[in-house]
Amino acid sequence: MGRAIMVQGTASGVGKSILVTALCRLFAQEGYRVSPFKAQNMSLNATVTPDGREIAWAQYIQALAARAVPSADMNPILLKPEAGSRCQVIVHGRVVGSFSAREYPACIREMAQEAISSSLKRLLSTSDVVVIEGAGSPAEVNLRERDLANMAVAAMADAPVLLVADIDRGGALAALVGTMELLPPEEKRRVVGVVINRFRGDADLLTPAISFLQETLGVPVVGVLPYLPGLALGEEDSQTQPRLYFSRESTVQVDVVVVDLPHLANSTDFLALATEPGVRLRFVRPEERIGPTDLIVLPGTKTTIADLKALRATGMVDQICAARTLGIPLVGICGGFQMLGRSLHDPDGVEGSLAQAEGLGLLPLETVFQRGKVTVQVEAEVITDLGPFAGLRGMRVRGYEIHTGRSGGKGQSVFRICGEGAREEGMISPDGLVWGTYLHGLFENPPLRQALISWVASRKGLRLDLLREGEPAMLETSFERLAEAVWRHLDVVWLFRVLGLVPPTSRRIFEGALSLEKDEGKGA
């Protein structure tokens, strides 16, 4: 049976997910079989496992950091907010229904507890170390009786807890003391150490604060982790993403706008675009002006019809149609692809109470929402030469589908799905300026991403010197940076001893610190 360590936070967004990712890579580097685990995650950033199950993006990335195969056991409960204060509930990667906040605990609490327990047992039986991530804060007293993600899980796994606070946002000391004060004695005893995250500056300045915390809390401050900019991991949830991304070059040559829909899903689809030199990526809310731009993207959404209604109410539809008239290229992904069509129909109320809507009419496409969600990883082949796909016919790309709508119409397809169930997919306008697809993750395919950016730049008479480094390499760099920071700034020997593992040698710790110092020296 494997061992478990849990990372909880004083609030949402303090860096729990990042620390879990770092620890997954740390233990994997030492040769341990590692699995991440988050019992319940509320997020609109999701992806698909190799066996076709839907899990949160954060746990998928953590699995890659752990050098493990992503599975639904790593995120047994996924909640996806919908319109009307409802949530779609996904258990072990499959939809079980849509519930209001009040309905959820009574309706499926027992199912959720069983799913969490069975998943955790499987991971503990097949892993040396399970790194568990909490949700929000364990000190939310109004939620303690229905806790499915924090101390209840720590007790289930008999896991020691690291409590994390974000000092960059301020109030870290008060948050740590307040959180511990609100925990009942049996839960407080599970907290074995405190981590201060995202510190900038001279750590010696924190010495008085660390002494105060250790005396007040009765547990050690085991790490002061630095602020690490530029990690290519994406946000845990699309609702907390930054709204502006710049490439590594300061000169903006290609401006890309993603319409920031009210229920935007899978914002991680587009972050790879901003890794290319000269590209600026902007998320623009429906009530805002798009302004001058070179490419507009309509992204995925959890509630296509409701979000399309919001675009009409704010005038964003008029901006998009005006951009089409001006010849600005337009791309739709998943829900955005559905919006580009002529009409959308929801006869069974899959998305909500709105039964139908008129689309933007920019592609000859009709969409019907049906019960039963498509969740699958795919390989596809480009089958058009129009627009940005000129010269790409026959190129293979990888992606994944997460959708309930089925779309069809008489237009030029973009891709052919390979393998079993081969079919044509996507659609592009005759002039190549408007296209859409159900495939998420397309821009993580460097050749396709670079072809799109090069094509957009060429329309302005520009030629960009694009990267030759793929997304997997950038992810690996981020994982290694995180692990190295933990080696240097967290008491790794203490951590291994808490878990009953043989501590790494002091030589390994020294080499890690030395390597990081050299890298920081190069970047100075």
Mean pLDDT by groups of 10 residues along the chain of 524 residues: 94 94 96 97 94 96 97 96 86 90 74 94 97 95 86 96 94 96 96 96 88 96 91 69 61 92 92 87 95 96 94 97 96 97 92 86 96 93 97 96 92 94 94 97 93 94 69 79 94 94 64 48 39
For the annotated catalytic residues, the residue numbers are 334, 440
The dihedral of CA 132, 136, 140, 145: what is its sign? negative
| pLDDT at site 100 | 81
Q: Residue type for 301, please?
A: T
| Largest Cα span, the chain | 71
> Nearest to residue 222, comparing CAs of 198, 199, 196, 200?
196
Domains, in order of start, for the chain: 3-227 (3.40.50.300), 238-470 (3.40.50.880)
Burial-class residue 226 by CB neighbours within 10 Å (0-12, 13-18, 19+): middle
User: Looking at the chain, how many residues does it have?
Assistant: 524
Residue 468 is encoded by which pair of tokens?
């030759």
Distance from C-alpha of 495 to C-alpha of 316, rounded to nearest angstrom: 51
Contact 64, 255 (CB under 8 A): no
| pLDDT at site 507 | 40
Contact 453, 464 (CB under 8 A): yes
Q: What are the φ and ψ backbone dihedral angles of 404, each rounded to 5 degrees?
A: -105, -30
Contact 382, 414 (CB under 8 A): yes
Distance from C-alpha of 264 to C-alpha of 287, rounded to nearest angstrom: 15
Contact 428, 434 (CB under 8 A): yes
> Nearest to residue 34, comparing CAs of 404, 466, 417, 479?
479
The dihedral of CA 207, 212, 215, 217: what is its sign? negative
Show Cβ contacts of residue 294 under 8 Å, excluding neighbours closer than 6 positions. Answer: 254, 255, 256, 328, 329, 456, 457, 459, 460
| pLDDT at site 243 | 62
Contact 211, 243 (CB under 8 A): no
Show Cβ contacts of residue 177 under 8 Å, excluding neighbours closer than 6 positions. Answer: 213, 216, 217
Residue 223 is encoded by which pair of tokens?
């790490």
Model pTM above 0.85 = yes
Distance from C-alpha of 325 to C-alpha of 308, rounded to nearest angstrom: 20
Report angle CA 268, 274, 277 to the nearest 5 degrees.
155
Task: Tell me how crowded residue 171 is: count the other CB atoms within 10 A of its CB.
Answer: 13
Residue 106 DSSP SS3:
helix
Q: Give strand ranges (E) for 108-236.
A: 129-133, 161-166, 191-199, 221-226
Phi-psi region of 36 (alpha: psi -120 to 50; beta: other; left: phi over 0): beta
Show Cβ contacts of residue 314 under 8 Å, excluding neighbours closer than 6 positions. Answer: 286, 287
Distance from C-alpha of 81 to C-alpha of 59, rounded to nearest angstrom: 18
